[in-house]
Amino acid sequence: MAEQMNIADELLTSMEQAVGIAEGTVKPGRIWTPPEINVADIRKRTGLSQVRFAARYGFSAAAVRDWEQKRRTPEKAARTLLMLIDKEPQAVERVLVGA
């Protein structure tokens, strides 16, 4: 059985890996970037207005408007959530209401 590392050793190993990644000597484990998405299409499929869509999913109405008008692009985390809303809206609803 492998010996367990203590938290200090784990942190030191993680920091060494981070430095290696930053220097380009270590490849990161996995990098995933969500694709560009059409926020207006996703919102329209929900049947919600911009204001209601924003309120339901925790976005600001201004952000939804700016995304739809292509003045801003959603950050990676927002694009990931938007993809989930598009593909699995019921699952997102369950999570958000704590069910």
Query: What's the pLDDT tens digit per position in 23-47?
Result: 989 888 877 788 899 999 999 999 9
- Identify the band that residue 84 occupies on the pLDDT scale cut at 50, 70 and 90: very high
In the predicted model, what is the mean pLDDT of residues 93-99?
82
Q: Which phi-psi region, left, alpha or beta, contains residue 44 (left: φ > 0; alpha: ψ -120 to 50)?
A: alpha
Q: Where are the domains of the chain?
A: 1-31, 37-95
Query: Could you say which of 3.20.20.120, 1.10.260.40, 1.10.340.30, 3.90.110.10 is the CATH number of the domain covering 37-95?
Result: 1.10.260.40
In the predicted model, what is the mean pLDDT of residues 44-53?
96
The residue whose two tokens read 């990676």 is 76
Which residue, among 44, 33, 42, has the nearest Cα to 83 in the 3D structure? 42
